[in-house]
Amino acid sequence: MGLVEIATGKVLSSFSVFLFLTILLLVVARRISTSVLLFSVQSAIIAAEVFATGFRERLAEAYVVGALILAIKVVAIPRAFFGLVDHLKTSRDVKASTTPTQSVFIAAAMIYLSYAAVHSYGQSVHVPEDALAASVALILTGAFLMVSRNKALMQMLGLLVLENGIFLAALTTTFGMPLVIEIGVFFDVLIGLLLMGIFAFRIRDTFDHLDVSKLRRLRG
Amino acid sequence: MILLMPLLIALLGAFVVLGFRNPRVATRAALLIGGLEIASLVVIVWQVHERGALQVGRYLRVDGLSSFFLINIAFISGLVLVYASGYLRHTGEGRFSSPRWFYALVFLFLFTMISVCLSANLGLLWIMMEGTTLASALLVGFYNTEGAVEAGWKYLMVCTVGIAFALFGTIVLYLAAVKAGMNPAAALDWVSLMDAVPRIGLDPHLVKLAFLFVIVGYGTKIGFVPMHSWLPDAHAEAPTPISALLSAVLLNCAMYAVMRYDAIVSRATGSGFPHTLLLIFGLLSMVVAGLLILVQSNLKRLMAYSSVEHMGIIAIGLGLGGPLGLFGALLHTFNHSVAKSLLFFSAGNVRHNFGTLRMDSISGMTRTMPQTSAALVVGSLAIVGLPPFSLFISEFAILSEAFAQARFLVVGLFLVMLSVVFGGFAYHLLRLLCGDPQSAPANGKLLSSEYSVMGIAGVCLLFFGARIPHIFTIILQEAMAVLR
């Protein structure tokens, strides 16, 4: 067995563990920059998995998708985030509404829940249970970050984590969707982030802060 | 090739309009491009009517159902563009908020909505549906006030998260199709899916899971309760032409996506599961929105909740199924669009003339703004479903279907909520229209662009109430044939 095959096998068998690790670290991170870095690492793990799957299943398309992830999610988006943090001149705190201890317990509960949720489906669709559980856990974590972090930037990051989860689900169950669709989804994510960036500037200019939990004028 | 025309016109039009710095020139250019756009849509609808479904490549296709929704887009976008030409006359120059940006974003918005109706692939459908959110977010935040920024942010976040669930649902359906042995390249193609589903037998658990995620995801864009939180904010804070576009076109496009999935899932697992879900969401939306209509204090929020209620009615029609239920649901999408545009146009006039939409600071409008008051009365009588207006016919069709299926719980709730909404509208309108004027409007006179579109909408409501044109009935039947 060649070195590449061994590496492929290792990546595919261990990436869920690393993803769970990023989830636990993400929920306790206190600074926006740490969270962005963790997101970048998380995307790199997923990119590695895409390459490994592409190699094992002999899918040329997967290399294109993997390269896109590397370029967009591992490099471009985190850079854009750091730029935003600098330009907005906002405090670097994520403004969590849960304490780190609570967050870890919630994250652990979510991971447990993910395993419980995929247990019945995992066997019927013949995919590794760990991978499917990791994708569901990522979706839940993204949603959790969006509701429990009050900074506009952290809500954007939560959305990205959630999107990572959906991407991973598509990858582990069907080896991804057709390439054109995949690229379209990437394009939407990019434009979406651009718009959210514009709105982040507007929120700061109009309200003088970035705490979206204080946007409560429109009710009922 | 003809299928590419409206897409190209909208996309190029957006960039052309952006080139005109002079607001008057930009407006004229936008009207011209809009005219071309509508003409190309009409040609497509006519071609489909004459020759049946058209397909270009693997990703674009138009059939009876899409062509029915294209009529809706063409008609309402025409009204909206003409109305906007007068409405924007006082708008200044700002980043993303000048007339030329307005029209450019409107054309992008139209591009995405037309693409939703034209896509033959469920993945492309999702991409374009997310595109509608992105194209309209800046339009919702157009005025850049505190309320507009908050509404825009909320719109962007809630709809993006909601629609992420729809992507998950799409993936699950894809998984079910691939697992059942379909060619991965064709497994998102909804015509091949419709053909293959009865033969290959998809895993019913996966299909149901897919539909659940899809209805929650696209239901967020439709504004089903409890995912409706973005809707009243976005409708109330957006410029009025955009409120009309959101309510009368965007919600219908999302409903169109749900109809497609409903047809596929009904074939795969029987109609029990998807129809029950549609009925639950429909009734819930109708009840909650109907009750919230009573307590509104802002005119446009009132209209927005009424949209939620009407989307509920359409979902009930779909959920009941059967020839009359489906007929009523489809007809109601069109009727509701016309009536709601008329109401939003009147609300826009109120805002221009009184500088506010708070209903407690306006009264005696019949004396100060007789034409707008007349439009408000006609629109409201239509929207609460009174004869002789067209919404009466579609609601009556849905109700007859419910009676025919002996679903008395649905009938009961439906009738009770219709009366509650009637009471709500009567209460709010009487306070607005009667009494002594509290403040004089800035300018009671309407522009010709304003009363012409309001006149067209009003006449259309009456006309369709008296007699649905023969050609429209045929197109409607072609649309229904696609879903069976």
Residues 6+ apart with CB under 8 A from B306: B289, B293, B340, B343, B383, B421, B425
**Final residue of a structural domain among B205, B236, B270:** B270
Residues 6+ apart with CB under 8 A from B235: B243, B246, B247, B300, B301, B303, B304, B307
Question: Does B321 fall in a domain?
Answer: yes
Q: How far A210 CA sits from the closest chain B CA (Å)?
A: 11
Residues of A in contact with B207 (CB under 8 A): none
Q: For A81-124, write each residue's pLDDT tens digit.
A: 999 888 888 788 888 888 999 999 999 999 999 999 888 777 77
Which pLDDT tens digits describe chain B residue by residue (484 residues)?
889 999 999 999 999 999 998 889 999 999 999 999 999 999 999 999 999 999 998 899 999 999 999 999 999 999 999 999 988 887 777 777 889 999 999 999 999 999 999 999 999 999 999 999 999 999 999 998 999 999 999 999 999 999 999 999 999 999 999 988 888 888 999 899 999 988 888 889 889 999 999 999 999 999 999 999 999 999 999 999 999 999 999 999 999 999 999 999 999 999 999 999 999 999 999 999 999 999 999 999 999 999 999 999 999 999 999 999 999 999 999 999 999 999 999 999 998 888 888 998 888 888 888 899 999 999 999 999 998 999 999 999 999 999 999 999 999 999 999 999 999 999 999 999 988 888 777 775 778 888 899 999 999 999 999 999 999 999 999 999 998 8
Question: Does A220 fall in a domain?
Answer: no
Question: Does B132 fall in a domain?
Answer: no
Do B36 and B15 belong to one domain?
yes
Q: Which amino acid is at A152?
A: A
- Give chain B's end-to-end CA distance (angstroms, integer): 28
Q: Which residue of A has its CA nearest to B206?
A: A121
Q: For A141-186, write each residue's pLDDT tens digit.
A: 999 999 898 888 999 999 999 999 999 988 888 877 788 888 888 8
Nearest to B146 among A124, A174, A217 (CB): A217
Residues of A in contact with B141 (CB under 8 A): 199, 202
What's residue A210's pLDDT?
83
Question: Does B111 fall in a domain?
Answer: yes
What's residue A22's pLDDT?
95
Q: For A51-88, write each residue's pLDDT tens digit.
A: 998 898 888 888 999 999 999 999 999 999 999 888 88
Do B313 and B190 belong to one domain?
no
What's residue A80's pLDDT?
92
Whether B157 and chain A come into contact, CB under 8 Å, resolves to yes
Per the structure, the complete domain to which residue A175 belongs is given by: 3-214
Question: Does B331 fall in a domain?
Answer: yes
Q: Which residue of A has its CA nearest to B125?
A: A181
CB contact under 8 A, B144 and A212: no
Whether A60 and chain B come into contact, CB under 8 Å, resolves to no
Q: Which residue of B has its CA nearest to A160?
A: B161
Query: Between A and B, how many CB-CB pairs are < 8 A?
Result: 121
Nearest to A188 among B130, B144, B295 (CB): B130
Q: If you count DSSP H runs as helices and E runs as strands, how many of each does chain A have, helices first?
A: 8, 0
Nearest to A162 among B147, B149, B161 (CB): B161
> What DSSP assignment string belongs to B254-283?
HHHHHHHHHHHHHHHH-SHHHHHHHHHHHH
Mutate: best of B171, B227, B302, partner A, most A CBs <10 A:
B171
Q: What's the whole-model pTM score?
A: 0.95
**Domain count of the fold of chain B:** 3
Q: What share of chain A is helix, strand, coil (3-state, %, to 5)?
A: 85, 5, 15
What's residue B421's pLDDT?
97
Do B116 and B41 belong to one domain?
yes
Say if residues B26 and B20 touch (Cβ distance below 8 Å). yes
**Final residue of a structural domain among B229, B245, B270:** B270
Query: What is the CB-side half-sphere exposure of residue B304 using CA atoms within 13 A?
Result: 26
What's residue B95's pLDDT?
73
What's residue B33's pLDDT?
97
What's residue A24's pLDDT?
95
What's residue A220's pLDDT?
59
Whether B435 and chain A come into contact, CB under 8 Å, resolves to no
Say if residues A195 and B108 touch (Cβ distance below 8 Å). no
CB contact under 8 A, A192 and B156: yes
Do B433 and B292 belong to one domain?
yes
Nearest to B164 among A166, A181, A202 (CB): A166
Nearest to B175 among A174, A188, A191 (CB): A174
Do B423 and B290 belong to one domain?
yes
Question: Does B102 fall in a domain?
Answer: yes
Query: Does the structure show a pLDDT above 90 at A218?
Result: no
Q: Which residue of B has its CA nearest to A165?
A: B168
Q: How far A203 CA sits from the closest chain B CA (Å)?
A: 6
**Domain count of the fold of chain A:** 1
Query: Does the structure show a pLDDT above 70 at A219?
Result: no
Residue written as token pair 């649901």: B329
Question: Does B127 fall in a domain?
Answer: no
Question: Does A219 fall in a domain?
Answer: no
Tokens of B186: 């064709």
Per the structure, the complete domain to which residue B45 belongs is given by: 1-120
ipTM of the complex: 0.93
Do B179 and B300 belong to one domain?
no
Q: Which residue of B has its CA nearest to A211?
A: B150
Q: For A174-213, write each residue's pLDDT tens digit.
A: 877 788 888 888 889 889 999 999 999 999 988 888 888 8
Whether B23 and chain A come into contact, CB under 8 Å, resolves to no
Tell me which residues of chain A, numbers 201 to 220, contact chain B at a CB-CB cutoff of 8 Å: 202-203, 206-207, 212, 215, 217-218, 220
Question: Does A95 fall in a domain?
Answer: yes
Do B16 and B82 belong to one domain?
yes
Q: How far A1 CA sits from the closest chain B CA (Å)?
A: 30
Do B279 and B388 belong to one domain?
yes
Q: Which of A189, A187, A139, A188 is nearest to A164 (CA)?
A: A139
Question: Does A204 fall in a domain?
Answer: yes
